[in-house]
A and B are shown apart, each in its own frame.
Chain A
């Protein structure tokens, strides 16, 4: 299972998303490799990912992909993350 968290610059908000996604996956008992990347390199970094996590603002910049795109509104709301990840992976 590979999950990629995407942000604009690749060094800021995706790190928060990555950390909280790891926490939630741990809670769900799902083992996954979560990485952080930027929208410019998503085509390569997420080529074999099952799930892409990102902000509603960045969705339209993500090129066509086989991965499920999960849009997170509040990066600090682990309940929202848990609900949406559970849906995507369930």
Chain B
């Protein structure tokens, strides 16, 4: 069981989003930039909130933006966006949101496993504030336990 790939291109820190739609769009754009999704997946992530409400805000300060698998998911992927100013999604307890994690998976089975892996990370109550304060991709990878990517960057090959 492991998290979907989170390349540097899928990490966007300290962005200025005017509202929740813009925040989700940043997460979608990051997934698209990394090659995980096409633009329509971003629209579908926004539709999920339009249809079902702010339930994707699953913990204080954290939104898990996602939609069902579909042809606009090219490969499994994760994105991490932090907001310079937290935005309100409309959740009764967990607003405002400062971290948006975008999730795309190609098949439902992969979805269950990779989402479960996120639980391992975020069951640590320090993980969300640590992500919100991240200033580099290496910080983000460390919080998510993606040690290899962080090590590769921290110790460039000689």
Which of A12, A18, A76, A77 has a CB less than 8 Å from the CB of B66?
A12
- What is the total number of residues of chain A having a CB less than 8 Å from a CB of chain B? 26
Residue of B nearest to A6 (CB): B55
Contacts of A56 in B (CB 8 A): 55, 91-93
Task: Report if B156 contacts A (CB, 8 A).
Answer: no
* Nearest chain A CB to B104 CB, angstrom units: 10
Bound CA span A9–B105, Å = 13
CB contact list, A40-85 vs B, under 8 A: 54-58, 61, 73-78
CB contact list, B113-136 vs A, under 8 A: 115-116, 118-119, 122-123, 125
Q: Is the interface of B mostly helix, strand, loop or mixed?
A: mixed
Bound CA span A20–B119, Å = 7
CB contact list, B130-146 vs A, under 8 A: none
Interface residues of A, Cβ cutoff 8 Å to B: 7-13, 15-16, 18-20, 36, 39, 54-58, 61, 73-78
| 21 A-B pairs (CB sep. < 8 Å) | A8-B48, A9-B52, A9-B66, A9-B68, A11-B66, A11-B68, A11-B105, A12-B64, A12-B115, A13-B56, A13-B58, A13-B64, A15-B116, A16-B58, A16-B116, A19-B119, A20-B123, A57-B90, A57-B92, A74-B59, A75-B58
- A sample of 17 more A-B contacts (CB under 8 A), given A13-B115, A18-B112, A39-B52, is A8-B52, A8-B55, A9-B48, A9-B52, A15-B115, A16-B58, A16-B115, A36-B112, A57-B91, A74-B60, A74-B93, A74-B94, A75-B59, A76-B59, A76-B122, A76-B123, A76-B125
